[in-house]
Amino acid sequence: MNRQLSQQEIDAVFQNLGKGEGGRTGVLKTAPFDFRRPDRIPKSQLRALRLLHENFVRSLASSLSAYLRTYLTANLVSVEQLSYAEFVETLSSPTCLVSLGLRPYDGHAVLELGPSLTFQILEVILGGKGKGPPAQRREITEIERSLLDGLLHIILSELKQAWESVTAIEFTVESLETEPQFLQVPDPGEAFVSVTMELKVGEVAGLMNLALPSLIIKMMRAKFDHHGSLRKAQSSGEEQARMLRLLKPAKLSLDARLRGPSMLVRDLLSLAEGDVVPLDYAVERPLELLVNGRLRFRGHLVSAGNKKAFVIAGREEQQR
CA 188 to CA 70: how far, in whole Å? Answer: 38
pLDDT recorded at residue 46? 85
Task: State the DSSP code for 202.
Answer: T
CA 66 to CA 57: how far, in whole Å? Answer: 14
pLDDT recorded at residue 152? 93
pLDDT recorded at residue 1? 43
Task: State the DSSP code for 182.
Answer: G
pLDDT recorded at residue 76? 93
pLDDT recorded at residue 23? 47
Note the residue count of the chain. 320
Kind and range of the H or E element at 11? helix 7-19
pLDDT recorded at residue 228? 54
CA 131 to CA 129: how far, in whole Å? Answer: 6
User: Helix 43-68 and helix 142-163: axis angle, to 10°?
Assistant: 130
Segments of the chain scoring below 50 in pLDDT: 1-2, 22-23, 38, 229-230, 232-233, 319-320
List, for residues 136-170, the tens digit of each pLDDT value: 677 888 888 898 999 999 999 999 999 988 888 99
pLDDT recorded at residue 211? 92
Task: State the DSSP code for 180.
Answer: G
pLDDT recorded at residue 198? 93
* CA dist 162 → 49, 50, 171, 238, 281 (Å): 10, 11, 12, 11, 54
pLDDT recorded at residue 157? 93
Q: Which domains does the chain have, with CATH numbers?
A: 1-31 (no CATH), 43-247 (3.40.1550.10), 254-315 (2.30.330.10)
CA 205 to CA 71: how far, in whole Å? Answer: 12
Q: Are 114 and 92 a contacting pair, CB within 8 Å?
A: yes
